[in-house]
């Protein structure tokens, strides 16, 4: 059987690209549990935490494959999670960054746009220089590195090639499947659990959202008629240090393992902005759903613990 079953009760046919990744695999789990007919596409077939669905494997930087994939699946919705997120690789290999971040999005947008298929493109929060806090969708992007530049170009390609697209800017954390390397939240938890000292920045801010809460918000936005760019992030801005302290409190772990340090821009190979936080005001106006603050997100993180 290709794809998930329960077709008679399905809420719609959904294709998730990059379905083997951290976010993709969490979205697969969410939508399977919520009665969607889910299809996946990635470079290779894997089992996601015991959840096995069928895939069409292939390279989405190939326009022909992207078109054939959409033609074969005939989805009602496509969520694109494909991205090269390593800042150093994006900076040092601009061709690879363009291929994965821009060309993939363009190919999917063209293939879905030609058939009027609803597209959700997962973007980032790396679009601004960090000189203020709680960036809105109306703030003018000014990315400081090639990762941000390619993700911004990807947004434009999606919106230009498929007018039925929603672009979601976000920053997320959570539990990944066994096939993935540790995410930031998992690394913090394991470090504190095994009493490994860690250093966290007090002057590097973000507005993280727990991945299962993000999945719920993505579904709500996907089913709506909204088109364009929208932020879906945690409702509270915090530093990396403050996030780690809050995590230790929620899990009852030793905060003494966490040392507060300042960012040294010279220590990074790639320029980073000091504030990535996003405003959810637009989302709050459009949708009747409360996005979690830091503690509420971490309580979800604890409740869904997989390790």
Mean pLDDT, residues 113-140 taken together: 97
Name the residue among 12, 44, 48 with its Cα closest to residue 28. Answer: 48
Q: Where are the domains of the chain?
A: 7-174+209-234+277-292
Average pLDDT, the chain: 92
Name the residue among 84, 111, 145, 114 with its Cα closest to residue 272. Answer: 145
Alpha-helical (H) ranges within the chain are: 22-33, 63-73, 87-92, 94-97, 104-113, 146-161, 184-193, 211-223, 240-251, 281-286, 294-303
Which pLDDT band holds residue 52 (cuts at 50, 70, 90)? low
Q: What is the domain class of 7-174+209-234+277-292 according to CATH?
A: alpha beta
Which pLDDT band holds residue 290 (cuts at 50, 70, 90)? confident
Q: Helix crossing, 211-223 with 294-303: angle to 10°?
A: 100
User: 73-105 pLDDT, tens per residue?
Assistant: 999 999 999 999 999 999 999 999 999 999 999
């Amino acid at each position: 059987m290709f794809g998930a079953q329960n077709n008679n009760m399905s809420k719609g046919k959904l294709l998730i690209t990059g379905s083997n990744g951290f976010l993709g695999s969490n979205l697969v789990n969410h939508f399977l549990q919520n009665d969607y007919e889910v299809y996946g596409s990635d470079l290779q077939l894997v089992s996601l935490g015991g959840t096995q669905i069928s895939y069409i494997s292939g390279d989405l930087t190939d326009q022909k494959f992207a078109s054939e994939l959409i033609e074969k699946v005939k989805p009602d919705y496509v969520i694109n999670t494909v991205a090269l997120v390593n800042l150093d690789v994006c900076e040092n290999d601009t061709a690879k960054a363009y291929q994965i971040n821009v060309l993939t999005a363009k190919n999917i947008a063209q293939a879905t746009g030609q058939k009027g298929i609803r597209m959700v493109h997962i973007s980032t929060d790396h679009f601004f220089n960090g000189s203020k806090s709680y960036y809105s969708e109306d703030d003018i992007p000014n990315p400081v590195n090639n990762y941000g530049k390619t993700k911004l170009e990807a947004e434009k390609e999606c919106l230009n090639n498929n007018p039925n697209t929603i672009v979601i800017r976000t920053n997320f954390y959570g539990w990944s499947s066994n096939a993935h390397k540790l995410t930031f939240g998992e690394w913090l938890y394991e470090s504190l659990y095994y009493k490994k000292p860690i250093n966290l920045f007090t002057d590097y801010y973000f507005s993280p959202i727990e991945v299962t809460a993000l999945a719920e918000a993505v579904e709500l936005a996907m089913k709506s008629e909204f088109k364009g760019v929208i932020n879906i992030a945690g409702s509270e801005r915090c530093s990396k240090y403050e996030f780690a302290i809050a995590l230790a409190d929620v899990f009852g772990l030793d905060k003494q393992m966490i040392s507060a340090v300042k960012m040294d821009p010279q220590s990074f190979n790639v320029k980073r902005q000091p504030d990535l936080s996003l405003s959810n005001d637009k989302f709050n106006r459009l949708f009747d759903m409360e996005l979690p603050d830091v503690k509420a997100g971490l309580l979800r993180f604890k409740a869904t613990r997989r390790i």
